[in-house]
Amino acid sequence: MIVPRARTTDVISIVTFATFLLATVTRETDRIALFAGFIPARVHALAAEGIVVDVPWLPVWLTPLTATLVHGSWLHVGLNLMILIFCGRQVEHLLGTARLIILYVLGAYAAALGHWLSAPESMAPMIGASGAISAVIGAYALIYSRSEVRAIGPIPAQAVRILWLAAGWTVLQVMIGFAGLGMGGPVGSVAIWAHVGGFIAGLLLARPLLSSRFRSRRPH
């Protein structure tokens, strides 16, 4: 399969890798994760008590985006960027630059929301681009899936397709979480609900973004 060129996907990948490389070379990954990672307890404190717990130069509302730039290992960043480059280029080829950015950004926030709902008082920073990339994967899966899906009663076929994909991805993420636990990994080391949140956002955004792209191309 020939993967089309996509400048925005490439730029996101380069910036993400450059940030990881800088943090690794300076050995500041842990400190950067605390400053730039998404920490659910910070949001929980704001929502529950109205206490401002922001780092002065990095507001909490920005951390779902900055967290996508922070990765813990070469394997972590390598897998994420490999998937982003493959799926992102395909999706960007159809959606265009602006809509891919919208998808990626909203996917990052949906991932943060999913992670926060699963562990609102956690002090552990969530890092990595996998939540935002999950939105790209969700859009890719919905746009490029070819299997026929039938309506179920009043539920239209398109909604059934979204539900099936969401269910399949959720089961896969839960299995990954249990597999990591079985291999001795800490509970919550994989932010599975961030992946689920991002993926569902991608499923819901794919068609509206695709439709708006082709509507904008129609002659007036």
Residue 148 lies in a domain: yes
Summarize pLDDT for 100-139 with one digit per residue, the tens. 999 999 999 999 999 999 988 888 899 999 999 999 999 9
157: domain range?
A: 7-217
Q: How confident is the model at residue 11 (pLDDT cuts 50, 70, 90)?
A: very high
Residue 61 lies in a domain: yes
Q: CA-to-CA distance for 131 and 192, rounded, in angstroms?
A: 9
Residue 134 lies in a domain: yes
Q: CA-to-CA distance for 97 and 184, rounded, in angstroms?
A: 41
Q: Which two tokens stand for residue 173?
A: 């993420």
What residues form DSSP beta bridges with 58?
55
pLDDT at residue number 219: 52
Summarize pLDDT for 63-94 with one digit per residue, the tens. 999 999 999 999 999 999 999 999 999 999 99
**Total structural domains within the chain:** 1
83: domain CATH number?
1.20.1540.10
Residue 22 lies in a domain: yes
Residue 1 lies in a domain: no
Contacts of residue 53, Cβ cutoff 8 Å, sequence gap at least 6: 41, 42, 45, 46, 60
Q: Which carries the bigger pLDDT value, residue 6 or residue 48?
A: 6
Residue 160 lies in a domain: yes
pLDDT at residue number 113: 95
pLDDT at residue number 218: 57
Residue 84 lies in a domain: yes
Over 60: is that where the pLDDT of 51 sits?
no
Q: Are 114 and 43 in contact (CB under 8 A)?
A: no
Residue 2 lies in a domain: no
Q: What residue type is 86 in one-letter code?
A: F
